[in-house]
Amino acid sequence: QVQLVESGGGLVQAGGSLRLSCTVSTSILTINSMGWYRQAPGKQRELVGRITSGGSTNYADSLKGRFTISTDNAKNTVYLQMNSLKPEDTAVYYCNVYKWGRDYWGQGTQVTVSS
């Protein structure tokens, strides 16, 4: 069983930045891929971006250039750096881990961007 604990959400003004963290209960070196998703009120959960065990990343087209995923292997943590935030980025952000054919999810952290 893999457990994920997210942190770093909050309220920020448009144009500001936030960094979300997701600490995993197992070595991330054993994980196939990790990612961030988000779900806005009344909308389906959508991909923000993912990073593989080899360090390759991919992002939703609309977020390229503003959001960056990185990892700290020593801390078993994956980060989501969000810059130039917009009100439409307001959502609950979820961390995801894919390991040995199973998906694991964090509890979600709220990000609210005010105009």
Residues (pLDDT < 50) of the chain are none
Which sign does the torsion angle of CA 26, 38, 67, 113 carry?
A: negative
Give me the residues paired with residue 23 across strands: 5, 77
* CB-CB contact of 22 with 34 (8 Å): yes
What does 76-109 look like in DSSP terms, one character per residue?
TEEEEEE-S--GGG-EEEEEEEEETTEEEE---E
